[in-house]
C-alpha cells in the first residue's frame, strides 16, 4: 500500500476547557488509508473517534496538522466524502423519500425529478424501507432512522464513506443485512471506508485494518490490527477462520485493560506516533516500528491453526458465545 | 370528546350567568319618585327611572344586530358603518405588518446567520425594542405629515421587534447536525437558507409573527384614537364623545373577535410548518 489515498498527518484537536485552558482530545495523530481500504476504529466512549471522523469529513478543522486526500489537503466538507452521522441527522420536516432525494439532488443538481426519485427509491429499497417512503422521521424507529441515514449516504455514491456507529441502533438481523450491503457496495464501487464501531465482531467482519484508540483525553492510536481474514469472507463462517478468535481476543484485551494504561505500557519502548505499531494477533508481532502504510497482502492465512489454539486457550471462548447470543 | 362537550356546556353556563347578571345589574328600578313629566323628559330615563347608564345586554344585542344589518353605510366623516371602520383598521394593520414582515425576516436571517451582524445590530435592537410604539407617533406625524401613514408606521415599528428577534433566534438555533448535513452535501448558501434554515426556523418565525399581529391589533386601536379620522379606534373614541356606551361595548366586542380571528389564522399557519421530532 504505497498509495496513501487518505493521510492524517500530525493532527491535533483541542477544545477550550471551562477554566480558560484547553483540553487536548488528541495530539500529533498519524494515520493513512489506501484506496479501497476499509478501516474500523475502536475505542472507549469519549476518546475522540467522532472528532477524528469530523476532521476527516472536513466538518471540523484540526487545531494542528492536516488531512490529505488524494494528494490534496482538505479544506472543508465534500460530496466525495459522505458521512453517516451518529445521531442520524435526518431533516424532520422531510419524508424518508424527501431526505434521500435531497441528497441526490445536491449531488446531481440538474437531474430531472423522475431520475431523482428513481435513484432515491433504489437506495430506500436497498435498506429495506420500501413502503415507508412517505413517513416522516418522527414516525420511524431508531433503527429505521439510521437506515434512512445509510440510504442517504449511499445514494450519492461517494468515493469515501465516513460512518459513525452506523449500525449501533439496529437489531441483529437488520444489522447483519446492512453490514452485508455496505460491504458489498464498498467492494463493488471501490469505496474507501472509515467506520467507528463499538462492536468487535462487526469490525472484524468488515475491516481490513482495525485501529485501536486509547482512552482520552490525550488519546493516541495504540495499535493497528491487521485483519488476517481474506477479503472474500462470508458472514456465516468468518468465526471459523483459525485466526478469528486471536484477533477478537486481542481487541477485547485492549479495550478491557490496555486502553487505560497504554501510556505506562509504552513508556520506555520505541513507540512512535507517526508509525503506529501494526500487529497480527495469533502470530508473532510483525514489527513494532513498521510504517502503518506498508502493505500486508496475505493476512497470515498460511499460519497453522494449531498456533492460534495454543496462543488462545479454548477457555476464553465462552465469552464469545455469550456475546454473539 | 366528552371533555370537549362538558367544557362547551360550562362555557355556555358561564356566558348565560354573565348575561343574566349584566341584565339584572342594568335593569331599570322603576320611577324613583313622582316627577313632573316634562322635567323627566328633560333629564332622561337614566335619572328619571333609576335606569342604569350602562346599557343592558338587550340594548347591546340590538345595536350589534343593527350594525350587522348595515355595516357599510357612510353618512359623513363622523358617522360611518362599523364595517367601514373595521376595514380601515384592518387595512392599516395589514400594510404596516406586511412591511414589517418584509423587513424583519431578511434582517433576522442576516442576524441569525452572521455572528458579526448579530453583535453589531444588538445594541440598536436592545434600545429600540422597549420603546412604546405610540411614542413614535409625534415624530411620525411630524415627518410623514399624514395621520393614516403615521399609524401604519406605528404598526410597522411595533410588529417589527418580535418577528425580528424570533427570526434571528430561530435561524441561530438551527441544529448543527442539519447544517452539517448541508455542508457535507455541498449545499450553497441560498439553497441552504431556503431548504434547511427556513423550514427549521419556520415554527419560531411564525410564533414571532403571531405575537406581532397580536401587538399590532392592540396598538392600532390606540393609534387611531390618537390620530382620529377613521378606523375602529377612532370609532370607539367618537362614540365615547357621543356618550353612546352601547356602541362602545359593541366595538369592544368586535375588536376582540377580529383579534381572535387574526391570532387563529397565524396559529393555523404555525401548525402547518411545525414538524414533529
Ligand atoms: N464541541 C466540543 N467542545 C468541547 N469538547 C468537545 C467538543 N466535542 C467533543 N468534545 C470532547 O472531545 C472528546 C471526544 O469526543 P468525541 O465525540 O470525539 O468522542 P467519541 O469517541 O466519538 O465518543 P462516543 O463513542 O461516545 O461517540 C470528548 O471528551 C468530548 O467531551
Ligand atoms: Mg462518537
Q: What is the pLDDT of residues B201-236, one digit of tens each?
A: 999 999 999 999 999 999 999 999 998 888 999 999
Higher-pLDDT residue of B48, A189: A189
B67 found inside a domain? no
Does one domain contain both B107 and B207?
Answer: yes
Count of beta carbons in the 10 Å neighbourhood of residue A134: 10
Residue B61 lies in a domain: no
Exposure on the CB side of residue B48, measured as CA atoms within 13 A: 12
Q: How much is the mean pLDDT over chain A?
A: 84
Query: Residue B167 C-alpha to ligand 2 middle, in angstroms?
Result: 31
Q: Whose CA is closest to B155, among B201, B205, B224? A: B224
Contact B167, B201 (CB under 8 A): yes
Nearest atom of ligand 1 to the alpha carbon of A49: 21
CA distance B99 to chain A (A): 28
Rounded to the nearest angstrom, the minimum Cα separation between A319 and chain B is 37
Q: In terms of CA atoms, which chain B residue is nearest residue A108? A: B185
Which positions in chain B touch A78 (Cβ < 8 Å)?
A: 184, 186
Residues A231-260 have a mean pLDDT of 87
Is the pLDDT at A318 greater than 90? The verdict is no
For residues A323 and A201, the answer to whether their CB atoms sit within 8 Å is: yes
The count of other CB atoms within 10 Å of the CB of residue A304 is 9
Confidence of residue B34 (pLDDT cuts 50, 70, 90): low
DSSP 8-state secondary structure symbol assigned to residue A259: T
Give the per-residue pLDDT at A210.
94
Q: A60, A51 in Cβ contact below 8 A?
A: yes
Q: Which of A8-22, A213-227, A273-287 has the lowest mean pLDDT?
A: A273-287
- Cα(A300)–Cα(A227) distance, rounded to whole angstroms? 9
Which member of A82, A85, A137 has the closest CB to residue B177?
A: A85
Give the separation between CA B9 and CA A226, rounded to whole angstroms. 76
Q: Is A294 on the interface with B (CB under 8 A)?
A: no
**Mean pLDDT (whole number) for A30-56:** 93
Rounded to whole angstroms, the Cα distance separating A180 from B236 reads: 75
3-state secondary structure of A87: coil
- Burial class of residue B273 (count of CB atoms within 10 Å of its CB; 0-12, 13-18, 19+): middle
pLDDT for A291 equals: 42
Complete DSSP assignment for B213-255:
HHHHHHHHHHHHHHH-SSSHHHHHHHHHHTT-HHHHHHHHHHH
Residue recorded with cell 423522475: A114
Question: What count of CB pairs under 8 Å joins A to B?
Answer: 54
Is B69 within the bounds of a domain? no
Q: A6-80+158-323 — its CATH code?
A: 3.40.50.300
Residue partners of A147: CB distance under 8 A and separation at least 6 = A127, A128, A129, A170, A174, A178
Q: What is the model's pLDDT at position B196?
A: 96
β-strands A38-42, A192-196 pairing: parallel
Residues B49 and B144 in one domain: no
Which residues 6+ apart lie within 8 Å of B243 measured at CB?
A: none
Same domain? For B217 and B176 the reply is yes
Q: Hey, is the C-beta of B188 within 8 angstroms of any chain A C-beta? A: no
- Whole-number pLDDT of residue A21: 86
Of chain A, the percentage scoring pLDDT greater than 90 comes to 54
**Peptide bond before A217: cis, by omega within 30 degrees of 0?**
yes
- Which of residues 23 through 42 in chain A touch B, CB cutoff 8 A? none
Q: Is B66 contained in some domain?
A: no
- Give residue ranges with CB within 6 A of ligand 1: A 15, 25, 43, 45-51, 86, 216
The stretch B2-6 carries a mean pLDDT of 92
- Measured between CA atoms, the residue of chain A closest to residue B275 is A93
A110 touches B: beta carbon within 8 Å: no
Nearest to B214 by CA among B120, B118, B97, B127: B97
Question: How many domains does one find in chain B?
Answer: 2
Mean per-residue pLDDT, B138-149: 91
Burial class of residue B116 in the structure, from the number of CB atoms within 10 Å of its CB (0-12 exposed, 13-18 middle, 19+ buried): exposed
Retrieve residue B152's grid coordinates.
401604519
Q: What is the mean pLDDT of residues A60-79?
A: 93
Task: Give residues with Cβ within 8 angstroms of B189, minimum separation 6.
Answer: none
Q: Is B74 on the interface with A (CB under 8 A)?
A: no
Tell me what the mean pLDDT of segment B129-133 comes to.
91
Q: Which residues on adjacent β-strands are paired with residue A69?
A: A6, A72
Q: Which three cell numbers stand for residue B157?
A: 415599528
Comparing A311-315, B150-154, B263-267, the range with the smallest average pLDDT is: A311-315
The predicted pLDDT at position B38 comes to 75
- Which of the residue ranges A43-52, A174-183, B218-227 would you say has the lowest mean pLDDT? A174-183
Residue B19 CA to residue A276 CA, distance in Å, equals: 86
Task: State which H helix or E strand residue A121 sits in.
Answer: helix A113-126
Counting from 1 in the atom list of ligand 1, the atom nearest the Cα of A16 is 4
Q: Are residues B256 and B158 in the same domain?
A: yes
Complex ipTM more than 0.85, yes or no: no
pLDDT tens digits, residue range A88-126? 899 999 999 999 999 999 999 999 999 999 999 999 998
Residue of B nearest to A57 (CA): B184
Phi, psi (rounded to 5 degrees) for A279: -125, 150
Q: Which residue of B has its CA nearest to A103?
A: B185
Output the DSSP codes for B63-94: HHHHHHHSTT-B-STT-B-HHHHHHHHHHHHH
Set of chain B residues whose Cβ sits within 8 Å of the Cβ of A107:
185
CA of A48 to the centre of ligand 1 (A): 5
Between CA A284 and CA A311 the distance in angstroms is: 10
A250-270 confidence digits (pLDDT tens): 999 999 988 888 888 888 788
Are A47 and A216 a contacting pair, CB within 8 Å? yes
Q: Are residues B22 and B148 in the same domain?
A: no
Per DSSP, the three-state class of A8 is strand
Find cell 358603518 and name the residue: B81
Q: Is residue A294's pLDDT more than 70? A: no
Are B40 and B103 found together in one domain? Answer: no
- Whole-angstrom distance, CA of residue B257 vs CA of residue B277: 34
How far apart are the C-alpha atoms of A305 and B35, rounded to whole Å?
Answer: 126
Give the distance from residue B186's alpha carbon to the nearest chain A alpha carbon, in angstroms.
6
Domain that holds residue B244: 82-273
**What is the pLDDT averaged over residues B186-206?**
95
Buried/exposed B19-37: b ≥16 CB within 10 Å, e otherwise: eeebeeebeeeeeeeeeee
Do B94 and B23 lie in one domain? The reply is no
Residues B147 and B187 in one domain: yes
Q: How far is CA B62 from CA A144, B54, B236, B250, in A?
A: 62, 14, 18, 10
In a domain, B247, yes or no: yes
Top mean-pLDDT range of A68-72, A241-245, B24-28, B239-243: A68-72
**Chain A closest CA to B265's CA: distance in Å?**
21
Query: CB contact, 8 Å: A61 with chain B?
Result: no
Same-domain check for residues B19 and B143: no
Q: How many CA atoms lie within 13 A of B151 on its CB side?
A: 28
B31 with B106, same domain?
A: no
Q: What is the pLDDT of residues B93-109, one digit of tens each?
A: 999 999 999 999 999 99
Is there a single domain that holds both residue B162 and residue B237?
A: yes
Do B7 and B141 belong to one domain?
no
Of A91, A136, A138, the CB nearest to B181: A91
Residue nearest to atom 16 of ligand 1 (CA): A48
- With a CB cutoff of 8 Å and minimum separation 6, the contacts of A79 are A106, A107, A156, A158, B184, B185, B186
Amino acid at each position: 500500500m504505497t498509495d496513501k489515498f487518505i493521510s492524517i498527518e500530525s493532527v491535533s484537536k483541542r477544545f477550550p476547557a471551562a477554566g480558560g485552558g484547553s483540553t487536548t482530545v488528541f495530539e500529533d495523530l498519524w494515520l493513512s488509508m489506501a484506496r479501497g481500504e476499509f478501516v474500523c476504529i475502536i475505542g472507549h466512549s469519549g476518546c475522540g473517534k467522532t472528532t477524528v471522523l469530523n476532521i476527516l469529513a472536513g466538518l471540523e478543522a484540526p487545531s494542528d496538522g492536516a488531512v490529505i486526500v488524494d494528494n490534496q489537503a482538505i479544506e472543508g466538507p465534500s460530496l466525495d466524502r459522505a458521512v453517516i452521522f451518529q445521531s442520524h441527522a435526518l431533516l424532520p420536516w422531510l419524508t424518508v423519500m424527501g431526505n434521500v432525494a435531497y441528497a441526490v439532488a445536491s449531488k446531481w443538481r440538474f437531474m430531472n425529478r423522475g431520475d431523482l426519485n428513481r435513484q432515491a427509491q433504489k437506495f430506500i429499497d436497498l435498506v429495506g424501507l420500501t413502503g415507508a417512503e412517505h413517513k416522516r422521521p418522527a414516525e420511524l424507529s431508531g433503527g429505521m432512522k439510521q437506515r434512512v441515514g445509510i440510504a442517504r449516504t449511499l445514494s450519492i455514491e461517494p468515493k469515501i464513506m465516513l460512518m459513525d456507529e452506523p449500525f449501533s441502533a439496529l437489531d441483529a438481523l437488520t444489522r447483519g443485512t446492512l453490514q452485508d450491503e455496505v460491504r458489498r457496495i464498498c467492494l463493488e464501487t471501490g469505496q474507501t471506508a472509515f467506520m467507528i464501531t463499538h462492536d468487535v465482531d462487526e469490525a472484524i467482519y468488515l475491516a481490513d485494518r482495525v485501529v485501536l484508540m486509547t482512552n482520552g483525553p490525550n488519546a493516541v492510536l495504540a495499535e493497528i490490527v491487521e485483519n488476517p481474514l481474506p477479503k472474500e469472507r462470508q458472514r456465516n463462517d468468518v468465526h471459523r477462520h483459525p485466526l478469528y478468535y486471536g484477533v477478537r481476543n486481542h481487541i477485547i484485551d485492549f479495550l478491557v485493560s490496555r486502553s487505560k494504561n497504554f501510556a505506562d505500557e509504552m513508556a520506555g519502548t520505541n513507540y512512535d506516533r507517526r508509525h503506529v505499531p501494526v500487529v497480527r494477533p495469533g502470530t508473532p508481532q510483525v514489527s513494532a516500528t513498521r510504517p502503518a502504510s506498508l502493505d500486508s497482502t496475505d493476512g497470515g492465512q498460511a499460519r497453522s491453526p494449531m498456533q492460534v489454539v495454543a496462543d488462545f486457550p479454548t477457555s476464553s471462548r465462552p465469552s464469545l458465545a455469550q456475546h454473539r447470543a | 370528546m366528552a371533555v370537549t362537550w362538558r367544557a362547551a356546556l360550562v362555557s355556555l353556563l358561564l356566558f348565560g350567568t354573565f348575561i343574566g347578571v349584566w341584565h339584572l345589574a342594568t335593569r331599570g328600578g322603576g320611577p324613583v319618585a313622582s316627577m313632573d313629566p316634562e322635567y323627566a323628559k328633560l333629564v332622561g330615563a337614566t335619572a328619571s327611572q333609576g335606569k342604569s347608564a350602562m346599557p343592558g345586554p338587550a340594548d347591546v344585542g340590538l345595536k350589534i344586530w343593527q350594525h350587522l344589518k348595515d355595516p357599510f353605510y357612510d353618512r359623513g366623516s363622523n358617522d360611518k358603518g362599523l364595517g367601514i371602520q373595521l376595514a380601515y383598521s384592518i387595512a392599516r394593520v395589514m400594510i404596516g405588518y406586511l412591511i414589517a414582515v418584509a423587513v424583519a425576516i431578511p434582517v433576522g436571517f442576516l442576524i441569525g446567520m452572521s455572528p458579526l451582524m448579530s453583535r453589531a445590530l444588538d445594541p440598536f435592537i436592545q434600545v429600540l425594542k422597549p420603546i412604546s410604539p405610540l411614542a413614535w407617533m409625534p415624530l411620525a406625524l411630524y415627518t410623514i405629515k399624514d395621520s393614516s401613514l403615521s399609524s401604519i408606521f406605528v404598526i410597522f415599528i411595533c410588529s417589527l421587534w418580535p418577528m425580528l428577534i424570533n427570526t434571528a433566534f430561530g435561524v441561530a438555533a438551527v441544529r448543527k447536525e442539519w447544517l452539517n448535513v448541508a455542508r457535507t452535501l455541498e449545499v450553497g448558501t441560498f439553497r441552504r437558507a431556503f431548504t434547511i434554515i427556513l423550514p427549521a426556523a419556520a415554527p419560531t418565525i411564525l410564533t414571532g409573527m403571531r405575537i406581532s399581529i397580536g401587538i399590532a391589533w392592540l396598538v392600532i386601536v390606540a393609534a387611531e384614537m390618537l390620530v382620529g379620522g377613521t378606523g375602529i379606534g377612532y370609532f370607539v373614541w367618537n362614540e365615547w364623545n357621543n356618550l353612546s356606551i352601547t356602541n362602545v361595548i359593541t366595538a369592544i366586542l368586535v375588536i376582540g373577535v377580529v383579534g381572535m380571528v387574526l391570532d387563529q389564522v397565524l396559529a393555523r399557519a404555525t401548525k402547518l410548518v411545525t414538524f414533529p421530532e
